Amino acid sequence: MTTILKLGGSVITEKDQPETVDEENLARTAAAIGEYVAEGGEIVVVHGGGSFGHHHAAEHGVSRADGSHDGAGLLAIHRAMGRLTDAVLDALAEEGVDPLPVRPLSAGFRAGDGTVTLAEGSVRTMLSEGFVPVLNGDVIAHAGRGGTIISGDTIVVSLAESLAADRVGLCSTVPGVLDDDGDVIDEIESFEAVASVLGASESTDVTGGMAAKVQRLLELDTPASIFDPDALAAFLETGRAGTVVR
Ligand code: IPE
């Protein structure tokens, strides 16, 4: 059974303070993952950019759609993400996990029509050898546009399909998708049904916030849960938590 888990950038970083890790949230999410792995769970971890990615991306004018041929700018974004990946690897290693990084810039590309290809073979082989692959939202070479941003959510969707994952989880700062009364919506089956409650993300976010997240998850065959760190252990145990997008 393969689980793909995204740790949102706003969970593991202080989103409004440049390049600051939220040590407490990172440690407790790593602890939950460590417990799951100790019990024989197979998991791919993907992390977002938070204050390591979005500020740099905005500064260099790069987004999912807006490409750049400024190599120095792309490298600055990639390196910042690498610093966050290092923090994630260290936190997981502390919990007795054997994490190994798979950096999308080196292990993938986007074709001219926007289709993403990632080195699924690396991820699959790491998993079968007992490692925990860790991927990050990143800069990616994009045919015809130079480099663009690939979000953690896009990586999750791409890997869930290529690995035929059984469970997908997005650990966010909110307990799920909230309705107008602030209550968690249990299940989402179509975008139209929730479009009115999905506002834009408040902090600098070059990849689209909750609306884009839900839209991408609806495209997946695998049901995906959106939940907060308090519900991570429950998600890992049961395969669902917060809002389930089908
Ligand atoms: C963004 O990844 C990566 C970069 C800006 C380089 P995500 O879009 O997945 O990040 P979060 O989770 O929203 O912070």
Percent of the chain whose predicted confidence (pLDDT) is above 70 = 96
- 224 is written with which tokens? 């995906």
pLDDT at 140 exceeding the cut of 60? yes
- Distance between CA atoms of 52 and 14, rounded to whole angstroms? 9
pLDDT at 202 exceeding the cut of 50? no
pLDDT at 104 exceeding the cut of 60? yes
* Full DSSP string of 158-192: HHHHHTT-SEEEEE-SSSS-B-TTSPBPSEE--ST
Q: What pLDDT, on the 0 to 100 scale, is given for residue 27?
A: 98
- By the 8 A CB rule, do 170 and 245 touch? no
- By the 8 A CB rule, do 217 and 168 touch? yes
- By the 8 A CB rule, do 38 and 2 touch? no
Provide the residue range defining the domain that includes 202.
2-245
Quick one: which atom of ligand 1 is closest to the CA of 57? 5
pLDDT at 203 exceeding the cut of 60? no
* CATH number reported for the structural domain that contains residue 9 in this entry: 3.40.1160.10
What domain count does the chain have? Answer: 1
- 170 is written with which tokens? 């997005």
SS (H, E, C) 105-117: HHHEEECCCCCEE
- Distance between CA atoms of 58 and 178, rounded to whole angstroms? 27
The band of 195, judged by pLDDT with boundaries at 50, 70 and 90, is: confident
Average pLDDT, the chain: 94
Instruction: Give me the mean pLDDT over the 191-201 stretch.
Output: 76
The band of 206, judged by pLDDT with boundaries at 50, 70 and 90, is: low
The band of 18, judged by pLDDT with boundaries at 50, 70 and 90, is: very high
The band of 215, judged by pLDDT with boundaries at 50, 70 and 90, is: confident
Q: Is the CB of 104 under 6 A from ligand 1?
A: no
Quick one: which atom of ligand 1 is closest to the CA of 46? 9
- By the 8 A CB rule, do 162 and 171 touch? no
Q: Is the CB of 151 under 6 A from ligand 1?
A: yes
- By the 8 A CB rule, do 206 and 149 touch? yes
Q: Is the CB of 147 under 6 A from ligand 1?
A: no
Instruction: Give the mutation target among 54, 56, 64, 78 for probing the ligand 1 site: most ligand atoms within 8 A of CB.
Output: 54
Q: What pLDDT, on the 0 to 100 scale, is given for residue 208?
A: 62
Q: What pLDDT, on the 0 to 100 scale, is given for residue 205?
A: 57
Instruction: Give me the mean pLDDT over the 225-237 stretch.
Output: 98
Instruction: Give me the mean pLDDT over the 133-150 stretch.
Output: 98
